[in-house]
Amino acid sequence: MHSYKNIPQNKMARKNIAAGNWKMNTSIEEGVALAQVVANAQRDKETVTILAVPFTHIYPLQKKIKSSSKVFLAAQNCHHKNSGAYTGEISPSMLATMKVPYVVLGHSERREYNHEDNALLALKLRAALDAGLKVIFCCGEALEIRKANSHISHVKTQLSESLFQISAQEMKNIIVAYEPIWAIGTGETASPAQAQEMHAAIRAMLQKQYGKRVADNTSILYGGSVKGSNAKEIFSQPDVDGGLVGGASLNATEFVEIINAF
C-alpha cells in the first residue's frame, strides 16, 4: 500500500476552486439562466468559480455575466494546432482571441470517446499555453486499473507523458483535476480517504518533478461525483483543493452549495 497521506504541504498557498463541467448539456437560454443564478448567488468570495461550457455558449455567457461576479469561463477542449484544415475543431488561439481564460484538457470522456492519448495531450497542452490559456488538466483511472491497485502508476504515466513536458514556470497556469473514472456518473464516489491518497500522490509527483514550491502552489481538484452533500468532507482533505463537478453543476442551487463547501 502506498503511503502518501502525510506528504507535508501548505494548503494556504493554493486557491480553492469549484469548476463546473456542463459537458454537452443545456440550450444557450438554459445556460445563460443557470450561469446568471450562479453569478448572482451569495458565494464564497475566496473560491474561484469556473464554468466549462459548450463552445456555442461562450459568447452569450460573456455578454450576460458581469466581470465583477468573478465567474470565469472555460472551454471543454481545444485543438493542438492554431489553424488549418480541421473541420469542426476550435483552436486555442480562437479561444484566446475571445478572452476565454481556461480550457479543460484530457477529460476522461475525451480520452475514451475521442481516443486522445498522452502524446496528443502533450501537444494540446503546449498549444494552449502558447496561446496564453490556463489549463485544467485531467488525469485518472478506470475501474479495472483501480482494482489492480495500479492507479497511482497509471496516473504517474499520464502526467509524465503529457503534463511533465512543460516547465516549472508554466505550472502556474495549470490546475490538475483527478478523475476516478469509476466514480463519474455512476453514483459511486471515492471515499475522502481514497481522494486524499491520490491527491497526495499527485502532489508528491509534482514535487519530485518541479520541487516543493510548485507542488505547494498547484491546485488539485477532485472530479468524481461531487455533490452538495459530500463536497464539504471531500474538500476538507489536506490535498484536495476543490472539485471538477459534472452533473451537480447543472443545478445552480447545488453548485452554489458546493462553491460554499470550503
DSSP letter for 17, please. Answer: E
Residues with catalytic function: 107, 179
Q: Give the dihedral of Cα atoms 21, 151, 194, 245; nearest 10 deg.
A: 0
Q: What is the pLDDT of residue 190?
A: 81
pLDDT in tens, 149-160: 999 999 999 999
- Distance between CA 109 and CA 158 in Å, rounded? 15
pLDDT at 7 exceeding the cut of 60 = no
Cα torsion angle, 253, 220, 69, 247, sign: negative
105 neighbors 135 (Cβ within 8 angstroms): yes
**What is the overall mean pLDDT for the chain?**
93
pLDDT tens for each residue of 173-200: 999 999 999 887 676 778 999 999 999 9
Share of the chain above pLDDT 70, in %: 94
- Answer yes or no: are the C-beta atoms of 192 and 180 closer than 8 Å: no
Q: What is the mean pLDDT of residues 195-212?
A: 98
Pairwise CA distance, residues 258 & 249, whole Å: 9
Say how many CA atoms lie within 13 Å of 170 toward its Cβ.
19
Give the mean model confidence (pLDDT) for residues 140-165.
96
Which residues make Cβ contacts (< 8 Å) with residue 87, sequence separation at least 6?
none
Write down all domains in the chain, each with its CATH number in brackets. Answer: 11-259 (3.20.20.70)
pLDDT at 5: 47
pLDDT at site 10: 61
* Unique residue bearing C-alpha cell 459548450: 54
Q: With a cut of 50, say whether residue 65 has pLDDT above it.
A: yes
Give dist(CA 79, CA 55) in Å, integer. 13
Per-residue pLDDT averaged across 242-262, rounded?
97
What whole-number distance in Å separates Cα of residue 202 and Cα of residue 8?
A: 13
The whole-model pTM stands at 0.94
Burial class for 245, CB neighbours closer than 10 Å (0-12, 13-18, 19+): buried
| pLDDT confidence tier of residue 67, bands split at 50, 70 and 90 | confident
pLDDT by residue (tens digit) across 219-245? Answer: 999 998 899 999 999 999 999 999 999
Distance CA 200, CA 198 (A): 5
Phi, psi of 135 (to 5 degrees): -120, 130
